[in-house]
Amino acid sequence: MRERIKQEFDDEDDDLIGSSESGEPSISGSETDEKVHLRDILNSAENNSSQGLSQDEVDLLLAAVTNADSGAGLLEISPELERPADISGADKKPLFINPLRERAERLLLRPRSSNQEIRELLDSLDQEAQAKATEAPDLIESSENFANKQLTALGGGAEVEPIKMELQEARNELLGTTSDAQDEFDRVAQEAANHVAKNNLEDEPVPSVVLDLDKFVAEEKVPAKGDSEPAESEAYKLFKELHGIDEVDEQPIANPEIIPIDPEMSDLDLGGFDTSKEVESPVDGTKVEIPLRSQKNVGIFNRLGTEAKRIYTDLTFKSQGRREINRGQKMLEKSEDKAYALNKDLAKSDDKIEELKDKLTNIDEMLGKFGEGLKIKEKRAIYKSRQDLDKKIKSEEKTKESLALKLEIEETNKVKLQEGIESAMGRLDLAINERIKPYKEEVAKLEINRGSLVEEKENFEAIVGDFESRLAGLRDQMANLDEVNLPVKAKKSFQAVLNRKIKDIESALKISQKNISKLEDNIVRVNGRLNKEDARLGKWEGIRGDLKETAQKKEEKAREEISRGFVPRERAESAEEIEDVREFSAGDYLDKWNSISKNDSMLLDKKLIMASKGELTLKKLEGIIKTTRFRGLSERQLKKKIKEKTDLLRAHFGIH
């Protein structure tokens, strides 16, 4: 059916074309007037080069030129200018060298102002549209009339129903398409007019690309890509251009990176090779490693005997961690205890020797007094006792010498140990003192900066909250976009633009949240590291405190020694004993003298001496002793005995 209608209209078109062709006035029929008119047009256009040809003038010229081709136009071919006959097989069209035609062609080719061009184009479109506007309804009406004629001829039977339906569908389709085309044309025409007005294209040369309205009739292409944004249609591009939505407004989303806080450093590895030694723990007997810190120390440790190794291991386990620095002091105390014990043994040995010597003296005295009256047997017994005593004295003196040597060695070693430890601890104390102040200053700065980070985080969270409120406001406004009086396609374009911008905003806000998270991580790391720095600072201050305390104790001890002389003390002394030692006691001195003089009759009268007037200092006592008449001893013996005993008592009481 459609084919039949189409064929009908094609025939009509041909008729129309035929009639228009035949309807045009034959130019050759009124050639003189029209030729004159054409010449006037040419003259006017050539003289006024700033003005362009009007559309009518263009049509006329075109018609004149065109009809010249067919030989029926104004611009006749001059017979003498016929194409030469020797051009075989070539185009038989005549050569157009008629000057009027040439002038017409030149004028047609001359650029006209773009404004005029567009206006004329719009006018021609408008005329065309007006002509076409009636075309479709005319077409429909004609087709309906034709269809009705045919249907009537068929007699209106049942077979005509599908034909009627098809006809109705065709009608509707044609009307719908016409309406859409009309809308589209109206829109484009308006936009073109706005474009001209906006860009003020008066008196500008026509751009090389003429406004091609066909572009705007094409369907908007739907992109087939994945997640990327849809390709922009030409309509959208013009829309953007007209509304100032161009590439400049497409803001990149700022995604700056937050600098992380440095992680903790691993512990300082100061051992180039293994300088630890596996030992048995004194606590539970398990195998543990103790640090020796240098190969030299490892070598010495390996050479030590079992007992020495045990002492060292014991010392290490009792002084771990921060107390490690106190090991030296503990070793010194052990050394002092050892020296004290040796001193005590030495004193005992001395006492013993004196005792034996007293016995020997007694024997000598007895022999001197009663030697002649004694029997031989008795004499032999006495001599034997004397020899035994001699032996014992010699043995004891050897013991004493040995003890004295040990004491001397111990004292020497102790001094060397003390000097070494004091030197090491002194350097450490100096290093800590030099660095503790800047250390504390840096930690204080860290505390302040940590506070600043927390403050920044809180401030930024508030700002982001405000942004989120604004975004919510935008979304509310977008929800009301449907009520805006805009063409559908314009609304869709706005929606697409806004959706993209909302996405960008959401991405930017995600970045904000991500950065807040990263900042929180940083703050946690700073907190952890600050706690560690507090612990480190505590360690160094603790060591410095321990070193100071050790130094103070040493000073106190030195002061005590200067005031009272050396007093070797028991580590577990009772309070009473400590008190006695601290003050010189004449009574104790006298008691001690008498205890070592039981066998040699060099006893002193304590009551008598204590009743002496004045303070009984050591010097006074020794003076009293010197002048006491001790019976049975020669002057040389007296001098020697008194000196031995007083020296012993001085050592006993720590008086030098």
Partner 1 sequence: MTQVDPKNIIDQADDLLKDINQANLKFIDKTNQINTAINQSFQAVNQLNKELEKEEFDALEEMDGQILEYLEENEK
Segment 519 to 548, residues that bind partner 1, using CB under 8 A: 519, 522, 526, 529, 533, 536, 540, 543
Q: Which of 344, 322, 340 is nearest to 332 (CA)?
A: 340
* Contact map string, positions 485 to 524, toward partner 1, x by CB under 8 A: xx----x--x--xx--xx-xx--xx-xx--x---x--x--
Segment near partner 1 (CB under 8 A); pick from 20-28, 92-100, 299-307, 559-567:
299-307
Segment near partner 1 (CB under 8 A); pick from 41-49, 256-264, 583-591, 600-608:
256-264
Shortest CB 273 distance to partner 1, Å: 14
Q: Which of 118, 114, 125 is nearest to 193 (CA)?
A: 118
For partner 1, which residue of 136, 160, 443, 496 counts as binding (CB under 8 A)? 443
Q: Tell me if 240 contacts partner 1 by CB under 8 A.
A: no
Q: Tell me if 211 contacts partner 1 by CB under 8 A.
A: no
For partner 1, which residue of 335, 361, 550, 597 counts as binding (CB under 8 A)? 335
CA distances from 232 to 83, 237, 252, 369, 512 (A): 55, 7, 19, 144, 30
Q: Where are the beta strands (DSSP E) in 565-631?
A: none
Q: Are 567 and 654 in contact (CB under 8 A)?
A: yes
Q: Are 507 and 545 in contact (CB under 8 A)?
A: no
Of 121 and 511, which CB lies nearer to partner 1 in the complex structure? 511
Q: Tell me if 551 contacts partner 1 by CB under 8 A.
A: no
Shortest CB 289 distance to partner 1, Å: 14
* Contact map string, positions 616 to 645, toward partner 1, x by CB under 8 A: ------------------------------
Q: Which of 188, 180, 199 is nearest to 235 (CA)?
A: 188
Longest C-alpha distance within the chain, in Å?
Answer: 204
Q: Tell me if 312 contacts partner 1 by CB under 8 A.
A: yes
For partner 1, which residue of 261, 339, 602, 609 counts as binding (CB under 8 A)? 261
3-state secondary structure of 457: helix
Between CA 590 and CA 649 the distance in angstroms is 10
For partner 1, which residue of 174, 196, 206, 311 counts as binding (CB under 8 A)? 311
- Residue 271 contacts by C-beta under 8 Å, 6 or more apart in sequence? 291, 293
Segment near partner 1 (CB under 8 A); pick from 133-141, 323-331, 352-360, 631-639:
323-331
Position 263, amino acid? P
Give the single-character DSSP code of 603: -
Of 23 and 256, which CB lies nearer to partner 1 in the complex structure? 256
For partner 1, which residue of 111, 420, 487, 587 counts as binding (CB under 8 A)? 420
Between CA 316 and CA 211 the distance in angstroms is 97
Q: Tell me if 325 contacts partner 1 by CB under 8 A.
A: yes
Shortest CB 229 distance to partner 1, Å: 16
Shortest CB 291 distance to partner 1, Å: 8
Of 239 and 589, which CB lies nearer to partner 1 in the complex structure? 239
Length of the chain, please? 656
Q: Tell me if 172 contacts partner 1 by CB under 8 A.
A: no
For partner 1, which residue of 90, 209, 268, 376 counts as binding (CB under 8 A)? 268
Q: Are 133 and 182 in contact (CB under 8 A)?
A: yes
Site for partner 1 in 354-413 (CB under 8 A): 409-410, 413
Number of residues that bind partner 1 (CB under 8 A): 103
Between CA 648 and CA 656 the distance in angstroms is 11
Could you give the count of Cα atoms lying within 13 Å of 357 in the half-sphere of its Cβ? 18
Q: Tell me if 260 contacts partner 1 by CB under 8 A.
A: yes
Between CA 454 and CA 526 the distance in angstroms is 11
Q: Tell me if 177 contacts partner 1 by CB under 8 A.
A: no
Cβ neighbours, 10 Å, residue 479? 9
